[in-house]
Amino acid sequence: MSVKRIVVVNLTRLGDLLQTSPTIAGLHAVHPDASITVVAERNFAEVCESIPGVDHVYRVDFDGLGHLLLDGPGKVLEAYHRVRDVVTELRAERFELALNYSSSRMSAVLLGLLRIDDVRGWAMTADGHRAIRSPWARLFAASCLNRRVAAFNLVDCYRGVAGCLDAPVDGLSFRVGEPARRAVAERLTECGVGDDASLVALQLGASREVRQWPIEAFAALARALAADGHRIVLLGGAGERALAERLQGACADAASPPLDLCGRTSIQELAALLERCRLLVTGDTGPMHMAAATRTPIVGLFFGPALPFDTGPYGSGHVVLHAGVSCAPCDHAVNCLDPFCRRTLTPELVTEIVRARLAADAGRLDALATQAGRSGAVRVYRTGFDGDGLFACTALGDLAPRADDALRDAYRATWLARLAGRPLPPACGARIDAAPFAALGELARLGGQLARDLQQQATRRPPSIGAIERTGREIETLDQSIAEHGRVHPEVALLTQMFAFEKEAMAGETLDQLAPECVRLYRDLARSADDMLALLRGTATHEVSHADLRQ
C-alpha cells in the first residue's frame, strides 16, 4: 500500500546517514507520491540536505538533551519541555510509516511517543519495552552479535526494513554543489596543485585508535605514491591534524609534500575534494562512505572490529583488504592490548594493491591477492552487486574458500529464501560439519509440537489451566536448550539469536493470539536449520516459496 508521509530516523554519524541514501531512493520507487522526512542528530543533519529524495530534515539535539538529564534534577523540567516540543512538532506531521535505524533506547522512546501505526526498526511497546520490528531489523541486530557470519551489508538491511529491497540501486548518493567544487578548486590552486594533478587521498584517523592503520605505514605508502608522481591529500577532522603533522614529518624526503586538509573542509567540500581524487585509501570511516557516494575508487583497510561484508564501501569496483586473523572481527567493546592485525596489512602490500587499482590491472590484483592469502591471513575483495541487486564482496585470487566464507554464504542464501522468497542454490563452498544444524532442527520441531499442543489447549472450553502451565514450562525449558545450543555451537548462534529476538517481538496479548505466532516461529527456525543443513551438505535443490513472509 502506497503511503504519503514517511519519516526516517537515523541519529548516528556521517557514514550511517549516507548509507540511508539507497533506502530513500527505494522508498520513492515504492511510494512515488510520498514526502520523506529524515530526523537526524543536529551535528550531522547537514549531510541529509544533500541526499537525493529527502524532502525535509528535522534536527534533534539529543546530545544536548543527554547533557541536561545528566546535569541533575534542576534540568529535568527543561529536558521535558524540549522532548515535548519535538514530539508535538513531529506528531503534527501525521506520518504513516516510520523507519527507525537507530538502536538506542532514546530513539525507541521517541517512536513510541509519536504514535505512528507502522513503525519498523527499533520501537517501543505499549508497556514501555523496546521491540525490534521487521525481520530485517532483527536480522541486523542478531548479526551484530555474530558478525563473523554477517551476510548482508548494513545498506541492504536498511532497504529490507523499508520494504524496497527489489528497487534498483547502484550505490550511495550525495549531491555535490557547484559552490563546493569552486571552493575546492581554489584551495587546490592556492596550494599549487594543478588541474592535471593525480590526487590520492589518505584518511588517517578513525573513531578509535584500534581502527587506525599505523601512521608509519601510511607514511611509507605516501612516500611510494609520491615517487610515482601522485600528489597526496590528507583528509579528516580537526582532531586528526596531529596525525597529519606526524605523517608530514615522516614524509619530509618525499618527492612532493602531502597536502594537509584535515579539518579544513565542510561536508560539501569533502565530497567535492573526493570527486577530484583518483583514489581514497582509508579504514572503515565516514569519508569512505562519502567516497562511495561520489563514485571515487576506494582501497579499504579493514581490521579489528571492521568487516567488509557488513560495512564495506557500498558500490562497485572498490578493493578491500581484510586482516582475517583468528580473532577477527573483534567486538567493538574490546580494548585490545596488542592490535597486531593492523600490522598484517603491510605498507608494501597496500602500496602494490593501490598501484594495481590505479592502473585498473585486474590480473595484478588477483596475483597480489593470491600471494597475500597464501603467505598470511590477508584476504582481498572486490565490491559489487549480485544477481539480486545486493551488495557482495568477491574474494580475489586463487584461494580455497574459508569455512567462515562458506558459512556466511549459506546464511546469506538461507535468509534470502526466508525473507525474500529466493530459491536456494545447491551448495555454498566448502563443506562444514552440519550436525549442529541438524540438532537445532530437531529442537525446533519439538518446540513446534509443544506450541501446537498449547494452541489446542487454549481453544478448549473450559481450558485446562494446569495443562497450559505444564506446556508453558516445557516450552520455556526448550527455549533455554535452544539458546544453550547456540552458545555451545557458535556456527548456529545466528539462528538461535534471531529466534530469541523474534520471540521477544511476538505480537498479541492473549494465549489465542500468541500460540499461533509461537507455532510459526518454531516452524521458521526448523526450516532455516534445514536449509542450512542442505546447503552445507550440498543437497539443497528445492525452490523456496514462503507464503507467510512478513515485514
The answer, yes or no, to whether residue 296 has pLDDT greater than 90, is: yes
- Domain containing 320 — which CATH number? 3.40.50.2000
Find the mean pLDDT for residues 137-154: 95
How many other CB atoms sit within 10 Å of the CB of residue 55?
13
337-350: average pLDDT: 88
Is 428 part of any domain? no
Q: Could you read off the pLDDT of 1-20 as tens digits, one per residue?
A: 679 999 999 988 899 999 99
Instruction: Pick the last residue of a domain from 380, 399, 418.
Output: 399
pLDDT tens-digit map of 188-199: 999 999 888 999
Banded model confidence at residue 429, pLDDT cuts 50, 70, 90 = low
Residues 196 and 114 in one domain: no
Burial class of residue 172 (count of CB atoms within 10 Å of its CB; 0-12, 13-18, 19+): buried
Place of cell 578493493: 319
Model pLDDT, residue 252: 87
Q: Which three cell numbers stand for residue 399?
A: 584461494
Whether 521 maps to a domain, the answer reads: yes
What is the pLDDT, as a whole number, of residue 540? 60
511, pLDDT greater than 90: no
- Compute the chain's Rg from CA coordinates: 25
Average pLDDT over residues 269-277: 97
- What pLDDT is stored for residue 337 in this prediction? 72
Could you give the angle at which helices 403-420 and 511-537 cross, rounded to 10 degrees?
140
Establish if 247 belongs to a structural domain: yes
Which pLDDT score, from 0 to 100, does residue 461 have?
78
Last residue in a domain, options 110, 129, 162:
162
Whether residue 94 is found in the same domain as residue 197: no
Q: What is the mean pLDDT of residues 431-436?
A: 85
pLDDT at 441: 97
- Asked whether residue 108 falls in the same domain as residue 152, the answer is yes
Domain for residue 307, yes or no?
A: yes
Q: How confident is the model at residue 79 (pLDDT cuts 50, 70, 90)?
A: confident
Whether 481 and 514 share a structural domain: yes
100: β partners: 9, 121
Average pLDDT, the chain: 90
Amino acid found at 190? E
Task: Give the residue numbers spanning the domain of 53.
Answer: 5-162
Total-model pTM: 0.93
* pLDDT value, residue 212: 87
Q: Is residue 462 part of a domain?
A: yes
Same domain, 155 and 205: no
Same domain for 347 and 391?
yes
Residues 158 and 182 in one domain: no
Q: Is the pLDDT of residue 477 over 90?
A: yes
- Confidence class for position 430, pLDDT limits 50, 70, 90: low
Same domain, 140 and 191: no
Number of compact structural domains in the chain: 3
Q: Is the pLDDT of residue 265 over 70?
A: yes
Contact between 14 and 290 under an 8 Å Cβ cutoff? The reply is: yes
- How far apart are the C-alpha atoms of 336 and 87, rounded to whole Å? 41
Domain boundary, last residue among 383, 399, 415:
399
State the average pLDDT over residues 283-302: 97
Residue pair 86/146 in contact by the 8 Å Cβ criterion:
no
Percent of the chain with pLDDT over 70: 96
Residue 423 domain flag: no
Confidence of residue 551 (pLDDT cuts 50, 70, 90): very low
- Is 199 in a helix, a strand, or coil? strand
Instruction: For residue 72, name the pLDDT band (cuts at 50, 70, 90).
Output: low
Mean per-residue pLDDT for 81-100?
93
Q: What DSSP string describes 470-501?
A: HHHHHHHHHHHHHHHHHHH-GGGHHHHHHHHH
* Residue 11: φ, ψ to 5°: -100, 35
Which of 425, 432, 411 lies closest to 539, judged by CA? Answer: 425
**Whether residue 101 is found in the same domain as residue 197:** no
* pLDDT at res. 464: 83
Residue 544 has pLDDT above 60, yes or no: no
Q: Which residue has the higher pLDDT, 341 or 522?
A: 522
Mean pLDDT of 159-170: 94
Q: Are residues 19 and 144 in the same domain?
A: yes
Side chain identity, residue 236: G
Quick one: average pLDDT of 335-363?
92
Same domain? For 74 and 105 the reply is yes
Residue 90 lies in a domain: yes
Q: In this predicted model, which residue has the larger pLDDT, 436 or 375?
A: 436
Q: Which amino acid is at 144?
A: C
Does residue 543 carry a pLDDT above 80? no
Average pLDDT of span 411-436:
86
Spatial separation of the C-alpha atoms in residues 75 and 84, rounded to whole Å:
14
Give the three-state DSSP class for 115.
Answer: coil
Is there a single domain that holds both residue 137 and residue 187?
no
Q: Is residue 549 part of a domain?
A: no
On the question of a cis peptide bond just before residue 462, with omega within 30 degrees of 0, the verdict is yes
pLDDT at 539 (0 to 100)? 67
Residue found under cell 567516497: 291
In 3D space, the residue among 340, 329, 366, 397 whose CA is nearest the CA of residue 150 turns out to be 329
3-state secondary structure 278-317: CEEEECCCHHHHHHHHCCCCEEEEECCCCCHHHHCCCCCC
Res. 67 pLDDT band, cuts 50 70 90: confident
